[in-house]
Amino acid sequence: MSTGTQAYGESWYWDNRYTNEPGPFDWYQKYITLAPIINLYVPLHQSILVVAFSEGMVDEGGYKDVVNIDISSVVIDAMQKKYQDRPELKCILMILHVNSIIIIPVSIAQLARTLHVICRDRDLNPDLKMDVRDMSAFESESFGSVIDKGTLDSILCGNNSRQNATKMLEEIWRVLKNKGVYILVTYGAPQYRLRLLRESCSWTIKLHVIEKLAAEEKSDDPLWELTKPIPLNNDGSSAEETLGPNPDVHYIYICTKLVVSHDSYLGGTSPTKLPLRTQLRSNLDILAIVLLVS
């Protein structure tokens, strides 16, 4: 594996890339092409976590409660600047201490100043990013939906890929409400993704596909209707039987969280009784998470 490929799982790689290639922050598919499938599974009123910033959910989606997180501080900074003139967009500034969380609602326009004052008074450096492998700032069952366009794929390209991917999926499962939906957009065919998804957490899984062509090049006769699930058997071979070998598509896995019984849950602890992960870092840190509301 090349060094460049391994770096996909590292924050410094994305900081460098977004610094050198500024532009819209949407991977694989723009929101407008995915809107039919997102609208099918995610109600407008639902709380949504987007792992890796998606501008489409902000600008076009009409959703009222969207939290965007990203491992790249360059992306976070760019989004603050882009939306600083949108007074209706709010930011939740969470100040994490050893045994407490202080939440300060501020406008995006005031975020930088607020951070500056807090850090100046406490001699701190602000950390505006979050790693999806450790979202301990979020309590369990915080979100109705989680949307992922390429983040799992990036982690699978990095070092310790299987271990890190499992950590990510376990964290996503934890922060989802019971029967919440994880929408995974990936290049990974079922024979490469189903086992990972099923072994990491307890889900019911549906599969959709969308062609990789850009939105303006979408065919009038697509390979498969976006909102129609692909037949999916245990090993995923039914997808290839339906679509043919090596279809030029992105796969969309609709993973619905199942809370399993006490006896069958990994480690013997019922998910309904999992402690809220409020054990915070020993030093005072600052974390800004963009929460968009009307």
Average of per-residue pLDDT across 221-229: 91
Average of per-residue pLDDT across 132-145: 88
- What tokens appear for 99 in the block? 């045994």
- Whether 39 is covered by a domain: the verdict is yes
- Whether 32 is covered by a domain: the verdict is yes
Paired sense of beta strands 48-51 and 66-69, if any: parallel
Domain harbouring 116, CATH code: 3.40.50.150
Per-residue pLDDT at 10? 53
Per-residue pLDDT at 134? 85
Between the alpha carbon of residue 208 and those of residues 95, 137, 225, 229, 230, the distances in Å are 39, 32, 8, 5, 6
- Whether 277 is covered by a domain: the verdict is no
- Whether 191 is covered by a domain: the verdict is yes
Q: How far apart are CA 139 and CA 176, in angstroms?
A: 10
- What band does 288 get if pLDDT is binned at 50, 70 and 90? very low
Q: What is the pTM of this model?
A: 0.71
- Whether 269 is covered by a domain: the verdict is no
- Whether 45 is covered by a domain: the verdict is yes
Per-residue pLDDT at 119? 55
- Whether 18 is covered by a domain: the verdict is yes
Q: Which domain holds residue 50?
A: 3-258+283-292
- Whether 123 is covered by a domain: the verdict is yes
Q: How far apart are CA 101 and CA 96, in angstroms?
A: 5
Compute φ and ψ for 175, nearest 5 degrees.
-80, -10
Average of per-residue pLDDT across 258-272: 49
Q: How many domains does the chain have?
A: 1
